[in-house]
Copies of this chain bind each other. A is one copy, B any other.
Amino acid sequence: MNTATRKTQEHFGQTLQQVQRLLQRHKLVEGMVHRQDMPRHELVEKLVHRQHLAELSLKLDRLHPADIADLLEALPQPDRLTIWELVRNERDGEILLEVSDAVRESLLSAMDSREIIAAAGRLETDELADLAPDLPEHVLSEVMRGLGEDERAQLQSALSYAEHEVGAIMDFDMVTIREDITLQTVLRYLRRFDDLPANTDKLFVIDRDRGFKGVLPLTRLLLNAPDRRVAEVMARDAVTFAPDGRADDAARAFERYDLVSAPVLDSNQRVIGRLTVDDMVDVIRDDSDVLSLAGLKEEDLFSSIWKSARNRGPWLALNICTAFVASRVIGAFETTIAQLVALATLMPIVSGIGGNSGTQTMTLIIRGLALGQITGGNARRLIAKEMGIALLNGMVWGAALGLIAGWLYRQPPLGLVMMGAMVLSLQVAALAAILVPLSMQKLGRDPAYGSSVLLTAITDSMGFFIFLGLATMFLI
């Protein structure tokens, strides 16, 4: 148990296996208990059964909420609910915050209103705001009634922001001080707290109206003489955020300036909340989640077949439509193919390589857009560069494939058509790979989402069209 790296991975694997083993035994015993042919042993088995559950329960009590959340994610629905029932009620809230949306839904559906209200009642306002969209209407209003006036206002404000905005992620738990007091007074003031909010690396300095004046990093508080005043020691050029800013921009700022916490100011420069690095890490993780590239929303690994199929349906349907369009392009050339069947054999190579080379270019462009590196000023230069690469690749690989095709079918003109089609379709792919994400961005959409379907639709259809078109012109 000497290192957390081992703790987190190996240990989590071990825990998962232990839990699976205990669940297995529990189910075996339960199976025996239910069998009617051995009533004599019933009592004994019920005891064993209870003992396993007690062992499991003890194990769960010792785990960090994040670890229990991972455990729940990794278990199929019935086992998940067995474990969920064993978790002490006081911990329900913090665990619900840690699991994915899909798993949270499955856990909430197994709780009654009373349990949900109790769990929600134990959370901070900003945590409650995270949970709120998943709670049933009547439960939410019940929880609202239980809040103080300030907290209710905070919750309503947090809920008024969209999921990707800073206001939806900020917390309300922070330490503020005035600028005209001495560090000694600050130190004395802090000692009255039982604990500081997590990730407190600086105190926020405000005036009488909560107007933001600057920040006092804890290190400056520690390093300076106690008789100095906050105003002399504080930093005035702190990085601050607006509640309607984008969360992923804020996350980039945290990355760029190595922040641990930062104040959120309203339009009158008043401090209304705080961002912390732990929430930003989650934003970064979600931001670069590969799921969205595959057209998937977050999906519970063990959700029902029906639910999963529904989650993946729209994307698949979209793909079927584009595949159908590409197929109709081929259909237009059926008389050509009937005269030279080799074309049917070779055409998927042209369209496939176009799609692939385009995806490489598009990935770089999407990344450059996300990092703000692509502007109107250099877009034209990028197009020229990418088309240059496509020309080079088209000539080299087109020549190679053309030679092989010409030799395979003993028909040199077929090889030339192959090479010409490769060059042209890679040009089209490069152009589409730049223009598709740029247009998405111009239209105010996320260029990462959906670009790949559109690109493949273009490279497939155009690849078939160019190859079969050239063949019709020159070979038939």
Residue ranges of A at the interface with B (Cβ–Cβ < 8 Å) = 2-9, 12-13, 16-17, 20, 64, 66-67, 70, 73-76, 166, 187, 190-191, 193-196, 198-201, 218-219, 221-225, 239-242, 245-246, 249-250, 252-258, 260, 262, 265, 269, 277-278, 280-282, 284-285, 288-291, 293-296, 299, 301-302, 305-306, 308-309, 312-313, 315-317, 319-320, 323-324, 326-328, 330-331, 334, 337-338, 341-349, 351-353, 356-357, 359-360, 363-364, 366-368, 371-375, 377-378, 381-382, 385, 388-389, 392-393, 397, 400-401, 404, 448, 460, 464
Interface of A is mostly: helix
A88 → chain B closest CB, angstroms: 20
Task: Contacts A66-B257, A256-B8, A460-B348 given; indicate if A353 touches B319 (C-beta within 8 A).
Answer: yes
**When the two chains form their complex, are residues B222 and A70 in contact, meaning their CB atoms are under 8 A apart?**
no
Residue pair B352, A341 in contact (C-beta under 8 Å):
no
Copies in the complex: 2
- Is the CB–CB distance between B241 and A219 below 8 Å? no
The reply to whether B4 and A260 form a contact with Cβ atoms under 8 Å apart is no
Q: How far is the CB of A32 from chain B (nearest CB, A)?
A: 21
- Given A281-B255, A284-B285, A345-B330, residue A250 in contact with residue B194 (CB < 8 A): no
By the criterion CB–CB under 8 Å, are B356 and A316 in contact? yes
Across the interface, do B249 and A8 meet the contact criterion of CB distance under 8 Å?
yes
* CB–CB B341/A250 < 8 A: no
Contact A195 B166, beta carbon cutoff 8 Å: no
Partner among B222, B253, B363, B377 whose Cβ is within 8 Å of the Cβ of A191: B222
- Cα separation A200 to B393 with both chains bound (whole Å): 50
Q: Could you tell me if B323 and A334 are in contact, using CB atoms closer than 8 angstroms?
A: no
Q: Please, how many angstroms separate the alpha-carbon atoms of A445 and B66 in the complex? A: 27
Q: Are B349 and A323 in contact (CB under 8 A)?
A: yes
- Choice from B260, B281, B306 contacting A284 with Cβ under 8 Å: B281
CB neighbours (8 Å) of A256 from chain B are: 8, 64, 66-67
CB distance A327 to B346 under 8 Å? Answer: yes
On whether A327 and B305 interact (CB within 8 A), knowing A9-B249, A375-B74, the answer reads no
Residue of A75, A291, A319 with highest tally of chain B CB at under 10 A: A319
Please give me the 9 A-B residue pairs with the lowest Cβ-Cβ distance, nearest first.
A5-B245, A344-B344, A74-B373, A288-B288, A3-B242, A294-B363, A4-B239, A258-B278, A66-B256
A219 close to B191 (CB less than 8 A) = no
CB neighbours of A364 from chain B (8 A):
291, 296, 299, 301
Let me know if A199 and B260 touch, CB within 8 A: yes
Residues of B within 8 A of A245 (CB): 3, 5-6
Contact indicator B293/A293 (Cβ below 8 Å): yes
- Contacting residues, chain B, for A222 (C-beta < 8 A): 187, 190-191, 196, 218, 221-222
Residue pair B295, A360 in contact (C-beta under 8 Å): yes
In angstroms, Cα B222 to Cα A397, docked, is: 67
**Cross-chain contact B223 with A191 (CB below 8 angstroms):** yes
Partner of A294, one of B74, B196, B320, B359: B359
Considering the chains assembled together, what is the distance between the CA atoms of A159 and B5 in angstroms?
20
A17 to B: closest C-beta gap in Å: 7
B-chain residues with CB within 8 Å of residue A342 when the two chains form the complex = 331, 334
Contacting residues, chain B, for A223 (C-beta < 8 A) = 190-191, 193-196
Contact of A277 among B218, B260, B293, B351 (CB under 8 A): B260
Q: How far is the CA of A313 from the CA of B353 in the complex (A)?
A: 12
Q: Contact at A323–B255, with CB atoms within 8 Å?
A: no
Given contacts A4-B239, A317-B397, 16 further A-B contacts (CB under 8 A): A2-B269, A5-B245, A5-B246, A5-B250, A74-B373, A193-B223, A260-B260, A285-B288, A288-B290, A290-B290, A291-B367, A312-B357, A324-B349, A326-B348, A327-B348, A343-B344
* Bound CA span A400–B70, Å: 39
Which residue of chain B is the closest to A282 with respect to CB atoms? B255
Q: Which of B5, B316, B317 contacts A249 (CB 8 A)?
A: B5
Contact present for B345 and A327 (CB under 8 Å):
yes
Chain B contacts for A309, CB-based, 8 A: 389, 392-393
The docked-state distance in angstroms from the alpha carbon of A346 to that of B5 is 51
Which residues of B lie under 8 Å from residue A352 when comparing CB positions?
A: 319, 323, 326, 460
